[in-house]
Amino acid sequence: MLRARGISKWFGSHCVLDRVDLDVRSGERVVILGANGCGKSTLLQIVAGVLETYEGAMTLPGVLGYAPEKPDMPDHLLAREWLDIVASLKRAPWRSEQAFGVDALLGRKIGALSLGQRQRISLVAAFTGNPPLIVLDEPTNALDVEACAALARRLDGATALIATHDRAFAERVQTRIVSMFTSSRVASGRDARRC
Amino acid sequence: MLARSATADAFEAPGTRTLRSLRPPKTWMTLLMVSLLAFAQLPFALLMACGDGIMRGVSTTLLAVALVASSRDVLRSRYALGAFTCAAMMVVLDPSPALAVLPAAGLALVATGAAWRQALEGRRAAVRIVRPSPPVVALALSYLARMVRTARGRVGAAAMMFAAAGATLALTLRNDPDARPWQRAFVVFALPSSIASALLATPAVETEAQLRPWLRQTRTSPFVLVAAVALALATPSTAFASTAGVIAAAASHATASIAWATTSAAVSIACAVAPWARFAARSRRPSTFFLGVIGIAVLSTTLAAAC
């Protein structure tokens, strides 16, 4: 599904990722754990295509579903309009995710939504078009307990790459956990291998 | 009321929540807000004061403040509705400045106080603009939504540019309606179209920058991005330019097909400004964009004059 080899990323003279290997097989939900600033979000942004310049090789299944750490959506749009734009770009209709409780938010401007409500909209956008791989960066940030449970249920059977600090959520959804350390030295996870 | 778009967000500006949490005295806040709203009316106030004296300038400014502040919440607050009605009646009746100044001050204070109380309360309904559509159209609609909802001042300024161009065209056509009217329409509309497109380009390019992570993850092609910005710039330009062209033609008894020339000028210039705006957004120098727009204006004027 996803095969990345020797991924390195430099911001100026600062090396954020140093020859990272990563495999996500179909049906796997790989959770990346690691300290702040170790490069989890950078790795996910490279996988999602948000960061385009990096060293290494990557094989992807096509357009992914990506929910960034900060749901940075245009404040001037209605939530429904935002989902329409994402659906138009993905050329697939968006489905109202009852589990995330977004129906009541659709007619409101994104700028008027709380952080948790934005996160829900961002998750619906990520799942739009049933992408083959879901990439979620800190998806439980600002989500309440019910929404976290709904997200975990939604991920059942999906292929996903998730970065989180939420251990309980990670344990619930993972099929494999990998750890990243500062300076992007990737250590063994549950299956004792480089990620 | 022209200043309304500039002052409408004064009551909900960034930092308002923090300011309210500090519980400033309401009287002082109302007086400060009246001063702020009056500041936006300063050019008109000076004009009135120069023509009819200081009292006229003051009373007109205060009435304008009352109208602007009360128009925000005229459907949500009885005080705002009352202040708006009274202020509108005073404008219609036009009493002497000495009689009007005190009621106008009272109305301005009541309207501003009501607007301060109502700010941040409730939700404002927004008309849905973006619909599921091809990517180019969806992106263009999102840029237009930004222009309409948060950059109304720019849209208003663009409309005024086209109105001025239309008036100029009407005057020149009235003098001599038959001497190459299309060419003159192109020449007259080149500079205003360039400035209007430049004004409208900023919100479009800023929105695109905000959407960039999503555009990259969906592998949206650069052609679609350029086309979307061009469509977003051309839409209001077309509306304004065609309207100005039709009115200019009617006012000068010239052929109505002049509107095609004004519209063509606006669309072609919008299509030239769009890729330049995207290119200049990556430049570190803010002057790059303005120099390019000036270049486009000069080039299009020269080409139109040479044809």
Domain ranges across chain A:
2-187
Which residue is closest to B146 within chain A, CA to CA?
A: A76
Checking if the pLDDT of B304 tops 60, the result is: yes
Token couple for B193: 């179209």
B129, B138, B213 member nearest A88 (Cβ): B138
CB contact under 8 Å between B220 and A89, yes or no, is yes
What pLDDT score was predicted for residue A192?
33
What pLDDT score was predicted for residue B147?
92
Please give the residue that has the higher pLDDT: either B157 or B254: B157
- What's the CA gap between B214 and B292, in Å, rounded? 28
CB atoms within 10 A of CB A14: 7
What pLDDT score was predicted for residue B52?
81
Region A5-14: what's the mean pLDDT?
A: 86
Instruction: For residue B66, name the pLDDT band (cuts at 50, 70, 90).
Output: confident
Checking if the pLDDT of A105 tops 70, the result is: yes
What pLDDT score was predicted for residue B243?
92
Please, what is the average pLDDT of chain B? 86
Q: Which residues in chain B touch residue A42, judged by CB atoms under 8 angstroms apart?
A: none
Q: Which residues in chain B touch residue A81, judged by CB atoms under 8 angstroms apart?
A: 128-130, 141-142, 145
What pLDDT score was predicted for residue B6?
64
Question: Where is average pLDDT lowest: A120-134, B1-15, B124-138?
Answer: B1-15
Checking if the pLDDT of A191 tops 50, the result is: no
Query: What's the CATH code, domain A2-187?
Result: 3.40.50.300
- Residue B18 to chain A, least CA–CA distance (Å): 16
- What's the CA gap between B127 and B61, in Å, rounded? 32
- What's the CA gap between A168 and B151, in Å, rounded? 44
**β-strand A176-180 against A29-34: which pairing, if any?**
parallel
What pLDDT score was predicted for residue B198?
93
B289-302 tens-digit pLDDT: 889 999 999 999 89
What pLDDT score was predicted for residue B73?
75
- Residue B300 to chain A, least CA–CA distance (Å): 34
Checking if the pLDDT of A153 tops 80, the result is: yes
CA B230 to chain centre: 19
- What's the CA gap between B113 and B116, in Å, rounded? 5
Which residue is closest to A94 within chain B, CA to CA?
A: B132
pTM for this entry: 0.76
Checking if the pLDDT of A44 tops 80, the result is: yes
Q: Which residues in chain B touch residue A49, judged by CB atoms under 8 angstroms apart?
A: 216-217, 219
AA letter at B107: L
Please, what is the average pLDDT of chain A? 85
Checking if the pLDDT of B15 tops 80, the result is: no
Token couple for B214: 């999503």
Checking if the pLDDT of A195 tops 60, the result is: no
Instruction: For residue B47, name the pLDDT band (cuts at 50, 70, 90).
Output: confident
What pLDDT score was predicted for residue A101?
80
Checking if the pLDDT of B286 tops 80, the result is: no
CB contact under 8 Å between A78 and B128, yes or no, is yes
What pLDDT score was predicted for residue B120?
73
What pLDDT score was predicted for residue A134?
93
Region B129-153: what's the mean pLDDT?
A: 90
Checking if the pLDDT of A184 tops 60, the result is: no
Instruction: For residue A193, name the pLDDT band (cuts at 50, 70, 90).
Output: very low
What pLDDT score was predicted for residue B122?
60
Q: How many CB pairs under 8 A join A and B?
A: 83
Checking if the pLDDT of B119 tops 80, the result is: no
Checking if the pLDDT of A10 tops 90, the result is: no
B156-191 tens-digit pLDDT: 899 999 999 999 999 988 887 777 888 888 999 999
Contacts of B115 (CB under 8 A, 6+ apart): B11, B33, B69, B70, B72, B73, B80
B224-250 tens-digit pLDDT: 999 999 999 999 999 999 999 999 888
Identify the CA nearest to A128 among candidates A175, A95, A89. Answer: A95
Checking if the pLDDT of A92 tops 50, the result is: yes
Q: Which residues in chain B touch residue A64, judged by CB atoms under 8 angstroms apart?
A: 217
Checking if the pLDDT of A95 tops 80, the result is: no
What pLDDT score was predicted for residue A185?
45
B80-90 tens-digit pLDDT: 888 889 988 88
A3: part of which helix (H) or strand (E)?
strand A2-11
What pLDDT score was predicted for residue B292?
92
CB contact under 8 Å between A84 and B126, yes or no, is no
CB contact under 8 Å between A81 and B150, yes or no, is no
AA letter at A63: V
Which single residue is written with the structure tokens 């400060």? B32
User: Contact at 8 Å (CB) between A38 and A15?
Assistant: no
B126, B139, B213 member nearest A68 (Cβ): B213
Checking if the pLDDT of B12 tops 90, the result is: no
